[in-house]
Chain A
Amino acid sequence: MLKEIRPAILVLVLLTAITGLAYPLAMTAIAGVIFPKQAQGSLIEKDGKVIGSALIGQEFKEDKYFHGRPSATVAPDPNDSSKTVPAPYNAANSGGSNLGPTSKALNDRVKEDVERLKAENPSAGVPVDLVTTSASGLDPDISPDAALFQVPRVAKARSMSEDVVRELVTQNTQGRFAGVIGEPRVNVLALNLALDAAKAK
């Protein structure tokens, strides 16, 4: 049995060096050459400054922008590091609400959001993804229904016609992969950038 101690150390060290260093470092080098944009996090730059990542949702509160889904991410409380405070779309600490189907806190929060949205647009049913938090808290997408639901508010805030805004939503709607896989969706940041660009024109 003592004979097994030597391989237990040396085979471990060699396999660790291969799988824990050589492999990830080689992948980093190769990916950096073939897919440099993705490897760096699909960052979007404007005037030389990073304004976000195409894959990471960010918080939108102003009327003139389409809003993403509620986010349950938190950050350490600056006054007491053992506690946390809400920090929506904190891309350095992903996570969901983890509230269950019989949670009163969840139900109260959803109810409040539904009422607020109903007041904003009484003509359409409230889409479920617009009042539920995502798993990562960083969901970059909303459903096409959730985007269309916000068209009247955005158009009014920007003094644009609803048809123009609706057309932008359609242009930014991505279908299922190969028509089958996944769900149709609208990337909120891309849509809002398109809105800003349309206004600039």
Chain B
Amino acid sequence: MTVIGWIQIILFCAIVIALVKPLGWYMTRVFSGERTFLSPVLRPLERGIYWVGGVDERREQHWLTYTVAMLLFHVGGFALIYGLMRLQAVLPFNPAGQTAVAEDLSFNTAISFITNTNWQNYGGESTLSYLVQMLGLTHQNFLSAATGIALAMALIRGFTRSSMRTVGNFWVDVTRCTLYVLLPICIVYALFLVWQGMPQTLGAYVDAATLEGGKQTIALGPVASQVAIKMLGTNGGGFFNANAAHPFENPTALSNLVQMISIFALGAALTNVFGRMVGNQRQGWAIFAVMGILFVAGVTVTYWAEANGTSALQALGLTGGNMEGKEVRFGVVASSLFAVVTTAASCGAVNAMHDSFTALGGMIPLINMQLGEVIIGGVGAGLYGMLLFVVLAIFVAGLMVGRTPEYVGKKIEAREVKMAMLAILVLPLMYLGWTAVGVVLPSAVASMANAGPHGFTEVLYAYTSGTGNNGSAFAGLTGNTLFYNLTLAMAMFVGRFFMIVPAMAIAGSLVEKKSIPASAGTFPTTGGLFVGLVIGVILIIGGLTFFPALALGPIVEHLAMNANTLF
């Protein structure tokens, strides 16, 4: 580890913290339906969408209607992506002449994008036409992100409203999020990325005659417009196979820094939106502190492990850390930081190959996802995931002092706790259950690229990433097989919707309750004790569920590495 390395990490953290309040202020206005400086341009467009769609923007929905609207919206999104992938050969914007994508891969990819996972069993430049990248994937990058934020808004309204039945209007929330938050930022952001060197063209791949007389086919495409929303919406599905490690998808150290910031920006700001909406910004900062502490701990471990390198490299006299699977322009520090950011935030873009990280360096991304991606988390999803843990922490605190637990004015009772537990427990069922199948079924075992404990970690990482809707991978695993396409799709589906529906049920239950003013007996939820308690609950629940699996993978691999055992 170096001083300049830590300066880069601190600079990143400082910029993210500085963005929390202004973005939180702006987003609060957007979701409260207030005018913003963009309203003169966007308001007519917004009204047009409601008029065509038959949406009455003043009519709010019961939580069940809100959830059904969200699910229907996803059915349409799924059909669109699946259809485009199957038909791409006969559709326009296909200069590379890509052929129809197989049924199982199309199915996996469609599920992957509607769940905001963006797992890549396809290689972008070798599989997809420009039309699929734009109309199929770029659009769903926007809408799955907008959906996540909309759901977080519904849950926040559950906390802030007193004795009501409705939690907002799904169509209004999604439309406003897309038009007022995501699209304007992306327009500026995409142009910045092109300036840094990212292609944005509909032209065909270019054949270059190299200096040594070889031929190099250079894949191009409308990259910048997709990458902007891929990062901002914590989607993470790359335009190219190598994702943000590809020089066209992340040309410079500056583009890398901005990409990392944009992964965290909206998720971090949502804690402030929460604080503003419940009437006390310190409630938001307390949640942000929980996230921040866990994040810095993760960065420290991964950076330390990668800077140390592997014992095999050290034995050969190679210094400078573990550079296998990393790019020179990012080096060890920006690669380690990116890996922790992308898995904390449910993004899943990678600027280095996690599969080639050291055992402990690669374990932190795994843990980040297994904790439920609540460290900033996916846009929206991170906040509602964290609020589920808060519900549990408050419940535990209530048990300790023997009072009915309450949080920001709402009593937390049996229904909320049951729903929170359901959402939290369904995740390990998916990733541990399918990993168990994946390591015994011979056809699944054949997909592993590495032998020994690392192969086990590849499978565990795949299902953890899928269930957590992250999308990053230990990419050596050959995921484009019938078994993995189908089982990963199931993990992604369950991981998304079996978390959303209980979270919405909590929103519906809370919104009907009366708000009670804080009294002397109320457990304060803005101080260090609360922050410590939530961190404790997250680590204990996480630790109990996945520590045994980690012991079989990265931990045993670390011990093997130190004993110079190779596989």
Contacts and interface: CB of A to CB of B under 8 A. Distances in A.
Interface of A: 1, 3-12, 14-16, 18-21, 23-28, 30-32, 34-35, 38-43, 49-62, 65, 69, 89-104, 106-107, 110-111, 114, 125-129, 131-143, 176-177, 180-183, 185, 189, 192-193, 196
A52 B449 contact: no
B187 interface: yes
Contacts of A55: 197, 247-248, 251
Given A8-B72, A129-B320, A104 B201 contact: no
6 contacts: A21-B134, A39-B194, A52-B216, A93-B125, A94-B219, A100-B454
B212 A60 contact: yes
Interface string B122-139: 010110000000111011
Nearest to B205: A92
Most A-side CB within 10 Å, residue of B199, B229, B453:
B199
A159 B567 CA distance: 45
Interface residues of B, number: 132
Contact of A94 (B241, B323, B359): B241
Contacts of B324: 96-97, 99, 106, 110, 132-133
Contacts of A42: 197, 199, 251
Interface stretch (B279-287, B311-319, B426-434, B535-543): B311-319
Contacts of B551: none
Interface string B294-332: 000000000000000110110011111111111111110
Contacts of B344: none
Given A52-B216, A182-B252, 15 more contacts: A3-B54, A4-B69, A21-B135, A23-B225, A24-B134, A32-B200, A38-B196, A53-B248, A69-B328, A95-B242, A96-B355, A97-B353, A98-B450, A106-B312, A139-B247
A56 B325 contact: no
A54 B241 CA distance: 20
B567 to A, nearest CB: 5
Interface string B163-202: 0000000010011001100110011001100111111111
Contacts of A58: 208, 210-212, 214, 216
A124 to B, nearest CB: 11
Contact of A10 (B53, B196, B242): B53
B18 interface: no
Most B-side CB within 10 Å, residue of A102, A106, A185:
A102
A41 B225 CA distance: 14
A174 to B, nearest CB: 9
Nearest to A49: B209
Interface string B351-372: 1110111110010000000000
Most B-side CB within 10 Å, residue of A98, A110, A132:
A98
Contacts of B175: 11, 15
B43 interface: no
B440 interface: no
Nearest to B66: A4
B181 to A, nearest CB: 12
A78 to B, nearest CB: 14
B493 interface: no
A183 B320 contact: no
A4 B457 CA distance: 43
B198 A139 contact: no
B138 A19 contact: yes
Contacts of A95: 123, 241-242, 475
A135 B326 contact: yes
B245 A135 contact: yes
A94 B240 contact: yes
A106 B567 CA distance: 10
A114 B241 contact: no
A176 B352 CA distance: 19
Interface stretch (B4-12, B395-403, B404-412, B512-520): B4-12
B322 A126 contact: no
A90 B174 CA distance: 40
Given A27-B224, A41-B206, A101 B242 contact: no
A81 B174 CA distance: 43
Most B-side CB within 10 Å, residue of A57, A183, A192:
A183
Given A58-B211, A92-B126, A98 B325 contact: yes
A125 B241 contact: no
Nearest to A68: B328
Contacts of B355: 96, 98-100
A137 B475 CA distance: 14
Given A131-B318, A135-B350, A56 B80 contact: no
Most B-side CB within 10 Å, residue of A9, A24, A59:
A24
Q: Give 9 closest A-B pairs by Cβ, nearest first.
A: A182-B253, A20-B139, A98-B476, A135-B245, A94-B242, A183-B331, A8-B72, A100-B454, A96-B353
